[in-house]
Structure 1
Amino acid sequence: MRLPPLPPYLSSLPGAEQRLRALRVLAAAGLVLLLRPWWSLIWLPGWVVGLLLLWAVWELLRWIWWPRRWR
């Protein structure tokens, strides 16, 4: 079974790579926050979660203020 293709704004239009990267960052941060109460992730130190969230915010700010120029 094949997955449906990504929409053009995530696959072929200018800036698609950055939008896809931003979605991946948000998904990773959201996944950590959602799975935090899970028994094995309770042992994850708070500073690790904080660093992940700071990384996500930094990536989003970099994407917004310093976008890559398409060729």
Structure 2
Amino acid sequence: MIDARGYSCPMPVVMVQKEVKKSAPQTLEVLVDDPCAVENITRFASNNGYEATSRPTGEDEFALTLVKKA
């Protein structure tokens, strides 16, 4: 789980990139509080073999789930 709340872009994407490079997880949960980060992480995921889904968890807070494509 990556808690990127409080960080503005590009830091949430950088945090996800580092985790993917380090451990190549099958699934990864990411918390963000920046709508721009949702778009950018979703794009990064798509370009790197992951499918991303997001859901709101509060006012301006989102949880993303990245799942490695088979």
**TM-score, structure 2 normalization:** 0.26
Q: Please state which structure has a larger fraction of its residues in helix.
A: 1
Higher-Rg member (1/2) = 1
Higher relative contact order (CA 8 A, sep 6+): 1
TM-score (ref. length: structure 1): 0.26
- Structure with more of its chain in strand, by fraction: 2
